[in-house]
A and B are shown apart, each in its own frame.
Chain A
Amino acid sequence: MKVLLKLAIRNLIAAGLRTWLNVIVLSLTFVVIIAAQGLFRGMGDQAARASIDYEFGGGQFWHPAYDPYDPLTIQDAHGLIPAELKPLIAAGQATPILVIQGTLYPQGRFLPVLIKGIDPSQKILSIPSEFLAASAAESEGESWPAEFTTSEKATGAYERMRIPDEIPAIIGTRMAATARLSVGDTVILRWRDSRGAFDARPVRIVHIFRTIVQSVDAGQVWIPLRVLQEMAGMPGEATVVTLAPGAASPPGNIPAAAGGWVYRDLRYLLRDIDQLVAAKTAGSATVYVILLFMSLLAIFDTQVLNIFHRIREIGTLVALGLTRRQVVLLFTLEGTLHAVLAAVLAAIYGYPLLSAFASHGWKMPEAFDSFGIALGERLMPVFTGGIIIGTVILILSLTAIISFWPARRLSRMRPTDALRGKLQ
């Protein structure tokens, strides 16, 4: 084997330009595949991380009627927070969110929105809910955080409160752009309470936050939970209860049953992102599949030509003491070594190139936002060992197969024919 490897290396290097052309193209394939995989891995990681930070936390309990993909369920998707979850809320390990439908009337237009109530003092999600507390305290002259103690919520001992004349609200940048709203603007918000009665009240935009998670931004208005409960006539109720990251680990930390509410773990919540990233990855694979195909075709072609041109040499190798299987192995090694050299070459120029790519990222065009996935302004690729090793194994394996394919017929060749230059 050692001798064959030595011979294969000699033959490969001696083949000169033909070898290096194959190696250069194949090394390019290595770099492109790793770059693309890393980019989509980075996209997935970024989207998942942002979604966890802004929306999913460490998992969620959903009201049984809640289906985020079916707007018609929103009206009924609310209920008293299950008693089993109240200790978690009291311990700051979970935060309830109430969701109802409403309509916003910015500058005479109307925009259907989801009104979401969130505890202003929560620290679980990165939504800057503290602005709701500060603004409310400012406008009401009293301290809202003191009113919204977690223990009070946990016990369900709500007291009726007055709905402020101007409800403080925070929105995301996308929503602000759609509704053409700025901080300090006041806009009419209309909703329907639990008894079916419509009501309306001005909301004042106290903060506009920037997030890459569209599902907490576009078409969403965030107001204090207690205010929304009061507005909707749903005291002590919520639609989802979001857990703090790590709260569900180990799973024994969370209640197995919570009054019929359904527990959704992160794997479930992130499956859309995973599927979307997988779809995007597969779609983008076309480019590097073509590149890979061309590289492998070039190697296949080289192998076929080699066998055709070196048939007498093959006979001589057998005469000098190689078996036919060893000759097949030699040719397969020669072909596969293209991929080894390509990997080395790719490492030489690809490492600095991909390192720079990983540190600077890729600035996304605005239009990319419409993909429906949490993408930042700049995509930061993530090059894991798995991606690199996987790519190397993939290309090495394919090259070995493509090299073996034409060489395998040599195992049936008669050395006496080969010595006469006759290819069977």
Chain B
Amino acid sequence: MAGPVIQTIDLTKVYPMGEYSITALNRVSLTFERGEFAGLVGPSGSGKTTFLNIVGTLDTPTSGQAIIMGTEISALSPLEAAGLRRQHIGFIFQTFNLFPVYTVYENVEFPLLLLGLPPVERRRRVMEALEWVRLADRARSRPTQLSGGQSQRVAIARAIVKKPAIVIADEPTANLDAENSYNILDIMRELNQELSITFLFATHDEKVIRYLRRKITLFDGRVAKDEILETAATPPPVT
């Protein structure tokens, strides 16, 4: 697809709170091209997660436009929005959000089931995704048998197994130690480079910020700064 994968124009989100209202996003206009490795940073309440939710079609803006893969999301029906997510958007959550009753293989397979891919193709893609995150040998394990870092790698495999255009990662390292954080950041950077997937983070973790090629600072729902970083840092040795 030519053109930006994500474009927001004067994106505004207001939450009514009784007689008052809170403006979580205030006329945010941003554009993300395919293959970006960008992050939203800023203090709590600055609107990072709200922005990701709207871009991920999990929420709708109060005003303004969010155009994802050329589609303006405000006009989408729930079914169409679900179709957009299913096809083009992968999610990585702070708390991993793996399905506990499924094996690692089944967790990764899930998005492909929703896409209706045939079993042989599903198997090929799941194993490929598990190879990327170096967990092919744990395919039959249950999430409860995995460490935090492994769980987040499974979540990454689940997010990228359908080769989406966009992966939205909300505080992906918040529950991980430094070593595991760098591991998964390395993996995500490799996938970004190899598959040209746009990664969009919400974070205030310095480790993540080191890897970003674009850093957008939000403050009180507005874009305070939008910087292109020269080169992403290599991770420091873990002590």
Contacts and interface: CB of A to CB of B under 8 A. Distances in A.
Interface of A: 3, 6-7, 10-11, 14-15, 312-313, 315-316, 318-326, 414-416, 419
Given A3-B116, A6-B113, A10-B102, A316 B97 contact: yes
Given A10-B106, A320-B91, 14 more contacts: A312-B95, A312-B97, A313-B97, A316-B97, A316-B99, A318-B58, A318-B85, A319-B58, A321-B83, A321-B86, A322-B82, A323-B81, A414-B59, A416-B53
Interface string B102-115: 10001000110111
B93 A318 contact: no
Contacts of B101: 10-11, 14-15
B78 A324 contact: yes
Interface of B: 53, 56, 58-59, 78-79, 81-83, 85-87, 91, 93, 95, 97, 99-102, 106, 110-111, 113-116, 158
Nearest to A320: B111
8 contacts: A10-B106, A319-B58, A319-B85, A320-B158, A321-B82, A322-B114, A323-B78, A414-B59
B99 A313 contact: yes
B114 A323 contact: no
Contacts of B116: 3
A416 B59 contact: yes
Contacts of A318: 58, 82, 85
Which are the 7 A-B pairs with shortest beta-carbon distances?
A321-B86, A14-B101, A316-B97, A323-B82, A319-B91, A321-B114, A415-B58
B82 A326 contact: yes
What is the interface of chain A mostly: helix, strand, loop, or mixed?
helix
B167 to A, nearest CB: 12
B114 A3 contact: yes
A14 B102 contact: yes
Given A3-B114, A321-B114, A322-B114, A416 B58 contact: yes
A419 B93 contact: yes
Nearest to A326: B82
B47 to A, nearest CB: 13
A6 B110 CA distance: 11
A409 B111 CA distance: 25
Contacts of B99: 313, 316
A321 B111 CA distance: 8
Contacts of B82: 318, 321-323, 326
A320 B110 contact: yes
A7 B109 CA distance: 11
A323 B95 CA distance: 22
B199 to A, nearest CB: 16
A319 B56 contact: yes
A6 B114 CA distance: 11
Nearest to A313: B99
A144 B61 CA distance: 103
Given A322-B114, A325-B78, A316 B93 contact: yes
A10 B113 CA distance: 13
Contacts of B78: 323-325
A419 B58 contact: yes
B160 to A, nearest CB: 13
A419 B106 contact: no
A3 B93 CA distance: 23
Contacts of B95: 312
A15 B87 CA distance: 29
A419 B97 contact: yes
A14 to B, nearest CB: 3
A10 B101 CA distance: 8
Contacts of A414: 59
B193 to A, nearest CB: 25
A307 to B, nearest CB: 15
Given A312-B97, A415-B58, A416-B58, A320 B114 contact: yes
Nearest to B90: A320
